[in-house]
């Protein structure tokens, strides 16, 4: 894992290098997931419905509207989620609170794992309905390419979302290097600057002064009282 500090990221406020960010495996997986979700969504919306001898549109997956609706739902939500988590990845280093970073990682683990399962269901569901589709239901092979694309990229999405889940778990297991954070970071507040030191710039230490007796005091013992002689 790249980066140190808290959950795979460095100290809060560090400068983000766009080129280094783009080369990260998590960013590459995120972009691929975004593209795959777009293909699944667009394939079904644009060519996933055909009309056969009537004005009513039928789903190319065995005329099962649930199959098309499910594919559109998984693709659209996956597309929006990739956009959200992409921005979260880019702004992750600017989050100063350790608790907020932990919540963000846990949210990513839960969602990525759940969407991996939904894409697995999408692949199985669409492939099953497509295998039951007869040539008579699709004259001139209408929508066949879109159906195959939706099935193929649903399978590819399983791999990318599973990879994102693994990366998020690795970041969570890294934990936090507490030496990089103050109490204010732990509580979610802004860090405070320490007071400047009175020591010289050169780093020399001051010698301790010896205790001096207060002024107007005598070191000798007090004189004894003498009886006056008349």
* pLDDT (mean) for 96-118: 91
Residue 101: pLDDT band with limits 50, 70, 90? confident
Q: What are phi and psi of 21, to 5 degrees?
A: -65, -40
pLDDT of residue 203: 45
Q: What angle do CA 120, 125, 129 make, to 5 degrees?
A: 150
Residue whose token pair is 């994102």: 164
pLDDT surpasses 80 at 137: no
pLDDT of residue 91: 84
β-partners of residue 58 are 50
Q: Is residue 58 part of a domain?
A: yes
CA distances to 46, 204, 207 from 201, in Å: 70, 8, 16
Q: Is residue 118 part of a domain?
A: yes
Report the candidate in 176, 152, 135 with the shortest Cα–Cα distance to residue 11. Answer: 176
Q: Is residue 122 part of a domain?
A: yes
Residue 223: pLDDT band with limits 50, 70, 90? low
Per the prediction, the chain carries an average pLDDT of 78
Number of domains comprising the chain: 1
Give residue 135's domain range: 17-178
pLDDT of residue 3: 42
Residue 56: pLDDT band with limits 50, 70, 90? confident
Q: Residues 6 or more apart from 121 whose CB is under 8 A from it?
A: 70
* HSE, side-chain direction, 13 A CA sphere, residue 28: 7
3-class secondary structure, 58: strand
Q: Is residue 12 part of a domain?
A: no
Q: Is residue 117 part of a domain?
A: yes
CA distances to 39, 42, 46, 214 from 76, in Å: 10, 9, 13, 82
Q: Which pTM value belongs to this model?
A: 0.70
pLDDT surpasses 90 at 61: yes
* HSE, side-chain direction, 13 A CA sphere, residue 125: 17
Q: Helices marked H in the chain — which ranges?
A: 18-22, 25-47, 65-91, 98-131, 144-174, 183-187
Q: Is residue 192 part of a domain?
A: no
Q: Is residue 185 part of a domain?
A: no
Query: Do residues 146 and 46 lie in contact, with contact meaning Cβ atoms separated by under 8 Å?
Result: yes
User: Which tens digits make up the pLDDT trace of 139-178?
Assistant: 767 888 999 999 999 999 999 999 999 999 988 888 755 4
Q: Is residue 188 part of a domain?
A: no
Residue 18: pLDDT band with limits 50, 70, 90? confident
Better pLDDT: 25 or 182: 25
Pairwise CA distance, residues 44 & 51, whole Å: 14
Residue 183: pLDDT band with limits 50, 70, 90? very low
The whole-angstrom distance between residue 137's C-alpha and the CA centroid of its chain comes to 44
């Amino acid at each position: 894992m790249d980066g140190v500090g808290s959950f795979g990221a460095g100290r809060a406020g560090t400068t983000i290098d766009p080129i280094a960010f783009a080369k990260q495996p998590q960013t590459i997986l995120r972009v691929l997931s975004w593209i795959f979700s777009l293909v699944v969504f667009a394939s079904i919306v644009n060519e996933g419905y055909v009309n056969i001898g009537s004005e009513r549109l039928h789903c190319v997956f065995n005329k099962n509207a649930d199959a098309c609706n499910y594919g559109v739902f998984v693709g659209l939500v996956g597309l929006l989620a990739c956009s959200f988590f992409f921005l979260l990845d880019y702004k992750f280093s600017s989050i100063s609170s350790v608790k907020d970073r932990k919540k963000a990682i846990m949210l990513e683990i839960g969602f990525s794992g759940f969407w991996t399962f939904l894409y697995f269901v999408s692949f199985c569901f669409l492939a099953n309905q497509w295998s039951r589709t007869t040539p008579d239901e699709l004259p001139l092979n209408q929508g066949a390419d879109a159906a195959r694309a939706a099935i193929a990229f649903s399978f590819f999405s399983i791999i990318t979302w599973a990879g994102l889940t693994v990366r998020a778990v690795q970041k969570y297991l890294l934990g936090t290097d507490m030496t990089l954070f103050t109490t204010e970071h732990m509580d979610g507040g802004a860090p405070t600057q320490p007071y400047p030191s009175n020591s010289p710039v050169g780093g020399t230490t001051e010698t301790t002064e010896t205790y001096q007796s207060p002024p107007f005091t005598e070191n000798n013992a007090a004189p004894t009282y003498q009886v006056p002689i008349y």
